[in-house]
Structure 1
C-alpha cells in the first residue's frame, strides 16, 4: 500500500508479533520524527507497522474524534493479527476511546490531555499504555498525566518539551529529547 507514492505498511525482518496502527497528528505525518522513531522501534521489536495517512483539512464539520475513529477503524478492519496496538500523535490520540473499547495497548505522543474525552479514553483502557509529553506543551495537563500514571500508564514527561517534543531554537536539546523518547518506546515495546 502507498500514499502519494510513499509506503504505508512495513513488515519486520522476522516473524511479526502483531501490528501497530499509526495515527498521525493534524499537521504531523507518519514520516515526522517521533512517528518515524516509533516505526523503527516497532520493526525492531518484530511488529508490523500500518501507517494511516490523512489530510485533516478534509474533515469539514465532522467531529474530530469520530473522524479519527473512522480512519483507525478502517485500518483495523483489514488486520487479522492477534496483537494490535495503536500509536497516536496529537490528533491521532483521539483514538483513545477506540483503543479502550478493545483493550488495545497504545503509545500516545503528546496526547490531548486537556480534552476530557481523550483523558477519559486513556483512563478507561485496560491495555498497556505509554504517554509521552512535555510541560511546555499547552495541550499536556501534568495533573492528568500524574493521575494516569497512578492508574498504571507509563509516562515520559519532559520538562522543557513543547507539543512537537522539542525546544524551539535548540536543535541539540530537541535531538536529546527524541533520544529520551526512543528509549522510552523501546523499553515499553520490550515489555509487550
Structure 2
C-alpha cells in the first residue's frame, strides 16, 4: 500500500516520485528533486511506500511497476514524468512503455528489468550514479541514449563515507544536473 503527498503547481505537468526501499521522498536527493520540479512549475506526486518482503526479483519489479502505473493512471495531465531512486527504478519499463521522460537516481543496473528498459528508452532520461555504488554500471549507463551523471567515489546514497562536506557538494552537483535536465523538458 502506498501513500501520497502532492505539491500542486501546473496540473498539466505531473511528476511521480518513487522512493527507494529505505530512501523516502524526505531524503535529500528526492527532497531537492521535488523542489527543482516544483520550481519549474511541475505538480509533484510523491509516493510513500513500505515495500513487501519479496525475494523474487520479478515480483519486486512487478510490484514497483504496479505502484507506478497506479500513480500515473490517477493523473489526467498532458505531460508526465517519472522519478525513481533505487528500488523505484524498477519502474523503468513503465516509462519506456508509455514513452515518458524519467530521472533515475542510482538505478539498479544489475537488474534485467531495469537495464532492459534503460537500453531501449527513447524519451529524455537522466541517469545518476556513483562509482562507489555496486548497483551502478557506468559503461551500461553511457551506452544508453540517456544523459548521464557519474559521481566518482559516490555510494548508493550518492554520498562519500566520512566526508559530509563532499557529500553536500555531490548533492549540489546532482541537484544542478536535475535542474538543467528539467529545464529542457
Same fold, judged at TM 0.5 (above)? yes
Matched residue, 1:131: 127
- Aligned equivalents of 2:55 and 2:111: distance in 1? 18
- Aligned equivalents of 1:71 and 1:177: distance in 2? 29
Matched residue, 1:190: 183
Of residues 124-133 and 172-181 in structure 1, the stretch that sits farther from structure 2 once superposed is 124-133
Tell me how far 1:186 sits from its aligned partner: 0.3
Of residues 39-48 and 116-125 in structure 1, the stretch that sits farther from structure 2 once superposed is 116-125
Give every structure 1 segment of 4 or more consecutive aligned residues whose post-TM-superposition deviation is greater than 6 Å. Answer: none
Unaligned runs of 5+ in 2: none
Tell me how far 1:77 sits from its aligned partner: 1.2
Matched residue, 2:147: 154
Matched residue, 1:10: 7
Contact map agreement 1:130 1:154 (CA 8 A) in 2: yes
Q: Which has the higher strand share?
A: 2
Unaligned runs of 5+ in 1: none
Tell me how far 1:60 sits from its aligned partner: 3.9
Q: TM-score, normalised by structure 1?
A: 0.90
- Aligned equivalents of 2:70 and 2:137: distance in 1? 30
Q: TM-score, normalised by structure 2?
A: 0.94
- Residue pairs, 1:13-52, within 5 angstroms: 15-52=10-47
Contact map agreement 2:54 2:60 (CA 8 A) in 1: no
